[in-house]
Structure 1
Amino acid sequence: MPATPTTDRSHAALAAAGEVLLSRWGLITGFVLAHAWIVLDAISWQGEIFGDVSLYHWWAHQGFATGNWPVLDYDWVYPAAALLPIAAPAAGTTGFLAYAVVWSAGVIALNAVAMWTLVRTPPRGRLAAWWWLVFLVALGPIWLGRLDGVAAPLILIALLLAARRPAVAAAVATLGAWIKIAPGAVVVALAATAHGVRRLVRDVVVPGAVVSAVVVGLALAGGAGARAWSVFGEQEARTLQAESVAATAFSVARLWNPDVRIEYNDVIFTYEVHGAAARQVASLLDAALPIAVVLIGLLAWLAARRRRDLAGDVLLLSAAATLLALIVFNKVGSPQFIAWLGPPVAAALALAGPGARRLWSPPALGMLGVGVLTQTLYPIAYGEFLRGEVWMVVVPALRNLALVALLVGAVWRLGQLALPDRRASRNVALRGREADIPGR
């Protein structure tokens, strides 16, 4: 179809709009507007969004007032380094409102660093930055009021640095893992894709060991003792959280079985599925989760050695698959966990070549859908979910099925890369047959 003046003007207008959006000021404006929307949304749902922040404030206030700190003086549900972002906003502030403002500003500032790193990543960091902003808006404000708002930017920064500065990436990811376990997925991916023992030790083991030694050393110096590792024991007593992936069957069964009940655990402030069957599933997940992480790591190790030319893609796939496994096989299914999944997609969109971009486009769209469904679940309609209203039983079920599908897709692609390159094998065989033909 021949071009017309109208279509030429439309194309020119679209190109100009694209240039504006991808310009420095376009990205700054997008960042400010996205975070302003998220903050306003968080304020409108302040009880649901800042409930954990009030607990952070209480821990920090008690620590400064009485010298009685979590980890140092009693067992805690978070890793030891989580004390840093939780205590920092309480220094020099009084009252919960001031603490919440400083907390939110700190999370947004850390995300600004991640965004700046993303924008500066060739070849398509600026386009990926827009996807990251849209993803955060789709997910809603839940990440702003949780430690996951600290963990997610650290995951993104580590993934973006992995190719150029693997040792720095390992240090950032290890620090993140001592704040919230999830960034450890990047450490697993870095270890699995390291070429040779020397690089593994230099780029992963040493940085991780140094950061861990500092964190544990400070905790022990503060009197933590064995409590420096208390986070692992604290998770064992939990049962199946109501919105977790593994709880989907129980949640759906509420539509016809009144014996399936969701009850509030006032010790850990979480709704859980009641009953022996749910406890048994939770116990099985305690074993399944580490097994899944190890298997994904082994698959990534094989893929990185089969396809050295695609080591960067393998690392991103490994991180994505591991983070998905940390949700799919987790008896805890908090909505803020979804924030972990945006960084590998954003990093892939920024770093990947044309073929790999096509590979990552479907999961990028899928993750936006997962974000919207998660925000619908919490905070918008969590009450309807707890009451077992049909539409809000369906929404989290669809979200959880999408997470399983994304995990299967990531593992499938890793498996393809881990297998011998069939095309290369066919080419070698063809050349061999040609050499056997007389006269050649």
Structure 2
Amino acid sequence: MWPVPSASDISTTPKAVGKDFLRSATRVLSSWPALWIGFALVHGWIILQAWVFGGQILGDVNLYEWWIRNGMDAGWWPVFSYDWVYPIGALAPMAIPALLADSTNGYYWVWMGLVTAANAVAVLLLGRARPHGRAAVWFWLAFLVALGPIWIGRLDGLLAPIILVALLVAVRRPALAMTLATVGAWIKIAPGAVALALAATASNAKGFLRNVVLPGAAVCAVVIGIATVGGGSDNVLDVFGEQGDRQLQVESVAATPFTVARLWDSSIQVEYDNVIYTYEVLGAGPDAVAEALDIALPVAAVLLAALVWWAARRRPDLVGDVLLLGAAAELLALIVFNKVGSPQFIAWIGPPLAAAIALGSRSQGTRRTWFLPAFGTLIVARLTMEIYPIRYGEFLGGWPLATTIGALRNALLVALLVGAVVRLVQVARSRRTTSRAG
């Protein structure tokens, strides 16, 4: 006869079965085959969406090709021959598809393949991180799906993996992280935020020199040397002047009061700038805000670096958390205080969250620090896709729903920045549990 189970056996069996199923599902989802299948599905969908939306996503890639083909055919190179909106390092990734493909469609495919390959390297390192790298991969893939195809059609699709890898190796190999951040900053400025966080968390003067100054200076010397040899020394820093000439972009956080006011004030105008290919808010008020942001952005970056420095000195035992918080805060500041608000910028803020999930412990403090920001970041990414490319025409036209989505997205960005600052202050003011290492 079959044994008769006791009442306790009957009552606990469903719970045990549920736990076994959860453990089995976790093992399957944490396996590399499942992760790479997820990676392939996500990137396949994103590439498909890039083709569906066409010029909205790949328009900038077409511009990249034009710059490179013009240089190859006529010898008229950005930076070497004229000032440019990007740092000189951006020429390298733009040139690779032109060297491997003859047609525009071929250039598109190689570009998207290049971005996918860079992200594959980042996912490989992320999945190997301990203790929760596999879970972090799923967050990272969910973030990219939420953001949509815009990142794969911009330089930011290469920057995000660079930022992610730099943050993953920052604590154990800060010199390598600084090298990656500096290389990334010579492609587009955003990885410089990681460099600031690394500088602020250096343990002492010797570490600052060895891990921050020397690798950063070495990369800069190589880049400036190449520019000088090629005759572009006069233009190598003109990217900062190019950014200074821009006005308040319609998607930017600071433009929110004006875009909302358009719901009832028809005098607020949005106009396309065909020199830098973006939509800007016109008027004395927006112009004044744009000028103020030229000052506010560097000031905010310096103040945040000072806060990170203070937190790292107060809690050297939590330097990894401080570094990730500092990098997240700096990257968010680059968006919140920026008069440019391009949707691909949101790709910058996913890497600190993914790295934090991968490297964090199971402690209540870690969950409190990163759970809500991770959830909020996914919402920000999804709202960004809703604005661009899905409802961009409605957003530019001042339609109520699209305007509300844009305002909510920008409010969440401010909330994420405030939350990072508050958490940094809390960490700095908390009781030190271990003495600082020399």
TM-score after normalising by structure 2: 0.95
CA distance in 2, matches of 1:220, 1:411: 40
Three-state SS of the structure 1 residue aligned to 2:119 is helix
1:18 aligns with 2:36: no
- 1:368 pairs with 367, 378, 385, which one? 378
TM-score after normalising by structure 1: 0.94
Residue 323 of structure 2 corresponds to 315
1:390 aligns with 2:400: yes
CA distance in 1, matches of 2:367, 2:84: 41
1:304 aligns with 2:312: yes
Deviating more after overlay: 176-185 vs 10-19: 10-19
Deviation readout 1:326-350 (Å, 9 max, x if unpaired):
0000000000000000000000001
Residue 3 of structure 2 corresponds to none
- 1:87 pairs with 74, 92, 95, which one? 95
1:115 aligns with 2:136: no
- 1:403 pairs with 405, 413, 429, which one? 413
Aligned residues: 424
Counterpart of 2:49, as a letter, is: D
Residue 359 of structure 1 corresponds to 369
Q: How has the CA–CA distance of structure 1 residues 195 and 365 changed in structure 2, closer, same or farther, with 3 Å as cutoff?
A: same
Deviation readout 1:257-312 (Å, 9 max, x if unpaired):
11111111111110000111101100000000000000000000000000010000
Identity, % of aligned pairs?
57
TM-superposed deviation, 1:35: 0.5
Counterpart of 1:265, as a letter, is: D
Deviation readout 1:378-411 (Å, 9 max, x if unpaired):
0000001011110011001000000000000001
CA distance in 2, matches of 1:266, 1:293: 30
Contact kept, 8 Å, 2:297 with 2:338, in 1: the verdict is: yes
- RMSD of aligned C-alpha atoms? 1.3
Residue 46 of structure 1 corresponds to 54
Q: How has the CA–CA distance of structure 1 residues 305 and 391 changed in structure 2, closer, same or farther, with 3 Å as cutoff?
A: same
Residue 78 of structure 1 corresponds to 86
Deviation readout 1:46-67 (Å, 9 max, x if unpaired):
1100000000010111111111
Three-state SS of the structure 1 residue aligned to 2:251 is coil
Residue 414 of structure 1 corresponds to 424
- 1:159 pairs with 167, 171, 192, which one? 167
CA distance in 1, matches of 2:21, 2:423: 38
CA distance in 2, matches of 1:69, 1:13: 59
CA distance in 1, matches of 2:155, 2:367: 30
TM-superposed deviation, 1:13: 2.0
Three-state SS of the structure 1 residue aligned to 2:238 is helix
TM-superposed deviation, 1:422: 8.6
- 1:136 pairs with 144, 149, 153, which one? 144
Deviation readout 1:105-135 (Å, 9 max, x if unpaired):
0000000011111011111111001100000
Residue 248 of structure 1 corresponds to 256
Counterpart of 1:134, as a letter, is: A
CA distance in 1, matches of 2:100, 2:303: 46
- Matched ranges for 1:283-362 at <5 A: 283-355=291-363, 356-362=366-372
TM-superposed deviation, 1:418: 2.6
- Matched ranges for 1:191-206 at <5 A: 191-206=199-214
Residue 58 of structure 1 corresponds to 66
TM-superposed deviation, 1:416: 1.7
Three-state SS of the structure 2 residue aligned to 1:264 is strand
Contact kept, 8 Å, 1:82 with 1:178, in 2: the verdict is: yes
Q: Which runs of 5+ in 2 are unaligned?
A: 1-7
TM-superposed deviation, 1:357: 3.0
Deviating more after overlay: 342-351 vs 90-99: 90-99
Counterpart of 2:375, as a letter, is: L
Three-state SS of the structure 1 residue aligned to 2:80 is coil
Q: How has the CA–CA distance of structure 1 residues 278 and 7 changed in structure 2, closer, same or farther, with 3 Å as cutoff?
A: same
Counterpart of 1:230, as a letter, is: D
Counterpart of 1:220, as a letter, is: T
Counterpart of 1:379, as a letter, is: P
Contact kept, 8 Å, 2:201 with 2:323, in 1: the verdict is: yes
Q: Which runs of 5+ in 1 are unaligned?
A: 425-440
Deviation readout 1:193-243 (Å, 9 max, x if unpaired):
001000000001100000111111111111102201110010111000001
CA distance in 2, matches of 1:295, 1:359: 21
CA distance in 1, matches of 2:381, 2:423: 23
CA distance in 1, matches of 2:369, 2:245: 40
Residue 228 of structure 1 corresponds to 236
Deviation readout 1:88-117 (Å, 9 max, x if unpaired):
110132121000100000000000011111
Three-state SS of the structure 2 residue aligned to 1:243 is coil
TM-superposed deviation, 1:18: 1.3
Three-state SS of the structure 2 residue aligned to 1:272 is strand
